[in-house]
Structure 1
Amino acid sequence: MNISVVIPLLNEQESLTELHDWIAKVMQSNRFSYEILFIDDGSTDESWKTIETLSKANANVKGIRFLKNFGKSQALHAGFEKAKGDVIITMDADLQDNPEEIPALYNKITKDNFDLVSGWKKKRYDNKFTKNLPSKLFNWAARKTSGVKLNDFNCGLKAYKNVVVKNIDVNGEMHRYIPVLAKNAGFTKIGEQVVQHQARKYGETKFGMERFINGFLDLITIWFISRFGKRPMHLFGALGVIMFAIGFVFSVYLGIDKLFFHKTGRLITERPQFFIALTTMIIGTQFFIAGFLGEIILRSKQNKKRYLVKEELNLNNTVIN
């Protein structure tokens, strides 16, 4: 199979039929063998019924329905797990991503041998102050922190080799950083392509300004995981040594000062340096304990699914009652 199109969605009933028809038209005109995987992330509208209708009319349409809203990262993870195409395309369901971009993205993977190609919405139709400016700041910080030179980390339109999506773990809200996850997994040939951005045709965006706050927090998380995820003691141990050393130096100073210079002066416990020494030594010990706990957790963790599937279409037709 040439292409798997993975589409996470939440309450996008109005756009699904039009999006499906557009994708099918592109696939047929380019003679691609394909599948479309709609991942319904707990929609409360009629999105799943629309997917069922589409799957009956087109056997290439497949669906996964979550029991509730688990988040875009979990939806992508489920889609990646089931995707069978040589190239996996991800796109949003709101018609802001243009399916006409798929052939060019496919060619960059298959002919130019990229592991991952990310779309770049160079010209956007979003509100300039609520989305564009925070997005530019967010992308700048992501580039500086991760070393991945992309202009638009948050673009939903991306193309991957099959081997990439099968070997990365997208969890939490890490969908913004899939290129970073891919790089950390060893897939370093990452490209970018300017894609057309379209104004939303139906409904309203499901993301607010809080996504940028969450994005920066996730950026810190992925920086930590990238640098110290497999060796937490290297970070916490170093911090522990520094803090404990500061406390020890103050303790030595207080002891020498009391023994040789102020034998009849104030009690050590009445001096502010005593509390600095005590606090920093306690914090240093706690950092050491955190490092040990991190190492123990790392060695004992077990894989656990982060979402529950309610129904599937044209995959394994399991229904949870």
Structure 2
Amino acid sequence: MTELLQLTVLIPLYNEDESLPELHDWIVQVVTEHHFTYEILFVDDGSTDDSWTVIEHLAGRNPNVRGIRFNRNYGKTAALQTGFQALRGQVVITMDADLQDSPDEIPDLYRMITAEKYDLVSGWKQKRYDPVTKTLPTKLFNAVSRWISGVQLHDFNCGLKAYQQKVVKTIAPSLYGDMHRNLPIVANWDGFTRIGEKVVQHRARKYGTTKFGLERFVNGFLDVLVIAFVHRFSKRPMHFFGTFGTLSFFVGSVLAIWLIIEKLINIAQGVKFRNVTDNPLFFFGLVAIILGVQLFLAGFLGEMLVRQSLNRSTEQLVAEKVGFLEQKVSA
């Protein structure tokens, strides 16, 4: 039987061998002072330095340390997803391995989950020790994320977060790409709406260099858009494609009708007129009509796929229920 623990500290990492011993000792000091039953779960995302050797050494010293190792670098989202599926703690604290997140925040984050009954608490690095080339894109990303998602957090990208176990177990199967930046959005749209925020300490990096470049913000924006689209329209694609398709078809049709009427008026008045195909509006209208038809068909095909998927799910559910009833009757 799996032992139930109060706390899991989940740490995804890539080439952080210098910081791991200090981070481990700091976490152990904090959780011991507060008498938590705990585990520290390191997920090594294909490090090429001695990170895994350090984790093995820490696990030898401390039976509460566990490690998962990837054979190559898959990214932070994959590391978190794997850790979410393997952890055993009732409260989950995620933090980065570079010592920029302070383990001293753990007790307050734990209290907000257990006593204040939040589903998720996100850290807010109100004062950051990062260059402007990093802080400015971060503020822009956070503003766009708030606007698109409706989740009012100041710092979506902070790695220091706390979750109820049921939250991470629910969202883990749907994570991919670089969605680790948008976990509060995913959780909120999966029904976990009690999302809190806590101002946390941000410390200057002590060892090594950052593993992320500016491209992460571009990827982050795109992932927010994907999440928003999938959440709002995955079950009703015609509402998206059909709306824009109808609008495009209507605009194209209006242009075509207007050109035809103009030609008829010119004929009736005996006015010399140029060919319709010489008018640029003709091509704009034609493109709009074709685009509208294509969008509408895309929505129609999407609806067919959704209905087919729902029918399969319903058939499977009915089969499971029938099997359960037959088993119950025979028993």
Q: State the TM-score bracket (shorter-chain normalisation).
A: 0.7 to 0.9
* Structure 1 position 31 matched with structure 2 position 39: no
State the partner residue of 1:58.
62
Q: Name the SS of the counterpart of 1:97 in structure 2.
A: coil
Shift of 1:253: 2.2
Amino acid at match of 1:196: Q
Shift of 1:142: 1.6
Count of residues paired in the alignment: 301
Amino acid at match of 2:198: Q
Q: Name the SS of the counterpart of 2:19 in structure 1.
A: helix
Q: How does 1:14-29 map to 2 (within 5 A)?
A: 14-29=18-33
2: CA distance between counterparts of 1:294 and 1:92?
40
Q: Name the SS of the counterpart of 1:171 in structure 2.
A: coil
State the partner residue of 2:323.
none
* Structure 1 position 270 matched with structure 2 position 274: no
Q: Deviations over 1:231-287 (max 9, x none)?
A: 222111100000011111122223333345337743332322221121001111222
* Structure 1 position 291 matched with structure 2 position 294: no
Shift of 1:191: 0.5
Q: Name the SS of the counterpart of 2:93 in structure 1.
A: strand
Q: Name the SS of the counterpart of 2:129 in structure 1.
A: coil
Q: Name the SS of the counterpart of 2:89 in structure 1.
A: coil
Q: Name the SS of the counterpart of 2:170 in structure 1.
A: coil
Which of the numbers 181, 191, 195 marks the counterpart of 2:186?
181
* Structure 1 position 160 matched with structure 2 position 167: no
> RMSD across aligned C-alpha pairs, in angstroms?
2.0
Shift of 1:296: 5.4
Shift of 1:224: 2.1
State the partner residue of 1:147.
150
Q: Whose relative contact order is higher, 1 or 2, with alpha carbons under 8 Å and at least 6 apart?
A: 1
State the partner residue of 2:139.
136
* TM-score in terms of structure 2 length: 0.85
Q: How does 1:211-222 map to 2 (within 5 A)?
A: 211-222=216-227
State the partner residue of 1:171.
176
Shift of 1:96: 0.6
Amino acid at match of 1:15: S
State the partner residue of 2:50.
46
Which of the numbers 199, 208, 211 marks the counterpart of 1:206?
211
2: CA distance between counterparts of 1:84 and 1:295?
40
Q: Which runs of 5+ in 2 are unaligned?
A: 313-331
Which of the numbers 238, 255, 267 marks the counterpart of 1:233?
238
Distance 1:296 1:48, change over 3 A: farther
Q: How does 1:237-316 map to 2 (within 5 A)?
A: 237-262=242-267, 265-295=273-303
2: CA distance between counterparts of 1:96 and 1:13?
15
State the partner residue of 1:6.
10
Shift of 1:219: 2.4
Distance 1:261 1:121, change over 3 A: same
2: CA distance between counterparts of 1:191 and 1:136?
19
2: CA distance between counterparts of 1:46 and 1:144?
42
2: CA distance between counterparts of 1:93 and 1:119?
15
Shift of 1:293: 4.5
